[in-house]
């Protein structure tokens, strides 16, 4: 006897003869109803164009190996910042956005159980008791001695619809894939929240560095103002020099104060991420000092398994493929088996006895004959949804590679720019020192000093901002390669 997808095909003539014509037919129908087959296309993962290597990756990235922290998922530990580590640990416990996404995944997982229950029969039981008084004037009244009687019943109803064509199995497959996509969405939200916290943290620390720089500059300008005032009182400097020094000082003080506005905003954002009211949360100032560690992006083909959003898109493709099978199953008849068993008696004392037993067995087969093209429309809709999910998957892959290339490019260019900017800072500080000496020697006016001061401060602020941008680009690179996540972490469900 040949079997395809669990359905019995009467291809073995000898086996049929051994069973006999009538018994073989009954056996075949029974196996068909209980086993069934699965209609619809077989799922094949969609293909996407994957480059052989990252264009923006330099030799340092190619030679380096992923660090243990990234492999374990706690990728933020590569920055060696204890304060950042403590904050990141609080996200998994207290972040409300993550809690909501976790509840959504639990909801999707429960939906799989709901759909899976359709594979099994439904059983319901009831108990009923009644006392009836008959009318002697009713039609065909024939038992004048039985005008009032009791009726006690204890029935159990069983109903079962065999999944002959795989409609339920395809529905379970679709629901399971959707739940796995929800699990990948949860991982994607988790990765995004941790990355957002790290970016906000480094932005805040960059502002701390900028504030420290401006405060030290204010102190230097205060000393320069005192020197100018002394020279003015001695008749060496003019009132214009004093006014220029005063203007330079007050302008820098205003810049230092303005930094506090942005810092407060980032501090409040971090408070929300860790699930704490902004009014009760604060971080002590700490300057940003060290450059970002090297972060190897790995092989481009690994990106398909390391990014949770790509994994979620692939799971949705499988769910859409299963829905095509569900739509296809609507073209075939549906079978239902029913049964009733239990006890019924006029006296409660004889209810649970053999003669009080009752049973009914039955079955139905229903086939939709005319629906004015409804099933065809549902099938076309399912196929269109599948094509859409494939396109969305490929687009997600393309965006993933773009984000990796953007981050690699940013890190490479910013590193070169930081090296150049370091030279500019050194040159500006030397120029300021020369201008101060020339002014003290009476060779130059104070305009030359203020110009050198402005250039030096601008270059130093730019250097601080470059370091901050390098740190955020490093975080974005880790996020774009999926952190320490892997597709193997999707639950089987």
Per the model's pLDDT, the better-predicted residue between 193 and 14 turns out to be 193
Q: How far apart are CA 167 and CA 81, in angstroms?
A: 54
pLDDT at 30 over 60: no
Are the C-beta atoms of 154 and 340 separated by less than 8 Å?
A: no
What confidence tens digit (pLDDT) does each residue in 376-405 have? 999 999 999 999 999 999 999 999 999 999
pLDDT for 80: 92
pLDDT at 189 over 80: yes
β-sheet bridge partners, residue 158: 123, 339
Q: How far apart are CA 291 and CA 417, in angstroms?
A: 13
Third-level CATH fold of 120-134+143-162+333-366: Outer membrane efflux proteins (OEP) (2.20.200)
Are the C-beta atoms of 424 and 431 separated by less than 8 Å?
A: no
C-alpha pair distances (Å), 195 with each of 65, 76, 409, 423: 21, 8, 19, 31
Structure tokens at 432: 């300021």
What confidence tens digit (pLDDT) does each residue in 391-446 have? 999 999 999 999 999 999 999 999 999 999 999 999 999 999 999 999 888 888 88
Give this prediction's pTM. 0.85
pLDDT band of 57, cuts 50, 70, 90: confident
Q: How many CB atoms lie within 10 A of CB 268?
A: 15
Per domain, the residue ranges of the chain are 1-37, 40-119+166-332+376-489, 120-134+143-162+333-366
Q: At what angle do helices 96-116 and 82-94 cross, to 10 degrees?
A: 40
pLDDT band of 294, cuts 50, 70, 90: confident
Q: N- to C-terminal Cα distance for the chain?
A: 34
448: helix, strand or coil: helix
pLDDT for 10: 35
pLDDT for 25: 46
Are the C-beta atoms of 249 and 166 separated by less than 8 Å?
A: no
Write the DSSP string, 201-269: HHHHHHHHHHHHHHHHHHHHHHHHHHHHHHHHHTTSS-HHHHHHHHHHHHHHHHHHHHHHHHHHHHHHH
Q: How far apart are CA 71 and CA 485, in angstroms?
A: 8
Strands 148-160, 122-125: pairing kind: antiparallel
pLDDT for 142: 63
pLDDT at 12 over 50: no
CA dihedral sign of residues 306, 307, 308, 313: negative
- CATH number for domain 40-119+166-332+376-489, candidates 1.10.1510.10, 1.20.1600.10, 3.20.20.70, 1.10.150.20: 1.20.1600.10
Q: How far apart are CA 228 and CA 204, in angstroms?
A: 35
Structure tokens at 17: 């003869």
pLDDT at 259 over 70: yes
Q: How far apart are CA 301 and CA 53, in angstroms?
A: 9
Instruction: Classify residue 36 by its DSSP letter.
Output: -
């Amino acid at each position: 006897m040949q079997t395809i997808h669990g359905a019995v095909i009467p291809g073995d003539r000898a086996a049929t003869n051994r069973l006999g014509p009538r018994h073989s037919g009954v056996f075949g129908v029974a196996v068909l109803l209980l086993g069934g087959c699965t209609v619809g296309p077989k799922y094949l993962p969609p293909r996407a164009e994957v480059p052989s290597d990252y264009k923006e990756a330099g030799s340092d990235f190619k030679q380096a190996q992923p660090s243990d922290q990234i492999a374990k998922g706690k990728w933020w530990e590569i920055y060696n910042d204890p304060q950042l580590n403590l904050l990141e640990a609080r996200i998994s416990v207290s972040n409300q956005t993550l809690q909501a996404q976790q509840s959504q995944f639990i909801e999707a997982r429960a939906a799989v159980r709901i759909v899976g229950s359709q594979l099994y029969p439904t059983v319901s039981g009831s108990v009923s008791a009644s006392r009836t008084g008959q009318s002697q004037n009713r039609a065909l009244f024939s038992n004048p001695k039985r005008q009032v009687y009791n009726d006690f019943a204890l029935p159990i109803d069983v109903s079962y619809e065999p999944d002959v064509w795989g409609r339920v199995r395809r529905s379970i497959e679709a629901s399971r894939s959707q739940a796995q996509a929800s699990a990948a969405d949860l991982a994607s939200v988790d990765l995004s929240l941790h990355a957002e916290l790290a970016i906000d943290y480094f932005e805040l620390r960059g502002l701390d560095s900028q504030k420290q720089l401006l405060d030290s500059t204010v102190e230097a300008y205060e000393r320069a103002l005192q020197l100018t005032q002394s020279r003015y009182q001695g008749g060496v400097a003019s009132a214009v020099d004093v006014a220029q020094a005063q203007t330079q000082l007050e302008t820098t003080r205003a810049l230092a104060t303005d930094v506090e506005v942005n810092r407060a905003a980032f501090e409040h954002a971090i408070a929300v991420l860790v699930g704490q009211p902004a009014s009760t949360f604060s971080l002590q100032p700490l300057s940003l000092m060290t450059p970002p560690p090297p972060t190897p992006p790995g092989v481009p083909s690994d990106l398909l398994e390391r990014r949770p959003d790509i994994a979620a898109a692939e799971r949705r493709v499988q769910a859409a493929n299963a829905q095509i099978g569900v739509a296809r199953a609507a073209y075939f008849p549906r079978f239902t088996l029913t049964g009733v068993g239990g006890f019924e008696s006029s006296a409660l004392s004889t209810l649970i006895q053999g003669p009080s037993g009752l049973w009914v067995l039955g079955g139905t087969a229903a086939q939709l004959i005319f629906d004015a093209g409804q099933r065809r429309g549902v099938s076309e809709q399912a196929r269109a949804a599948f094509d859409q999910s494939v396109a969305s998957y490929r687009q997600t892959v393309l965006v993933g590679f773009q984000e990796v290339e953007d981050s690699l490019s940013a890190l490479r260019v910013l590193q070169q720019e930081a090296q150049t900017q370091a030279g500019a800072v050194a040159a500006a500080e030397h120029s300021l020192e020369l201008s101060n000496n020339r002014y003290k020697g009476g060779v130059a006016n104070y305009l030359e000093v203020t110009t050198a001061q402005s250039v030096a401060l601008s270059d130093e602020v730019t250097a601080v901002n470059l370091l901050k941008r390098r740190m955020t680009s490093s975080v974005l690179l880790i996020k774009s390669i999926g952190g320490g996540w892997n597709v193997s972490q999707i639950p089987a469900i």
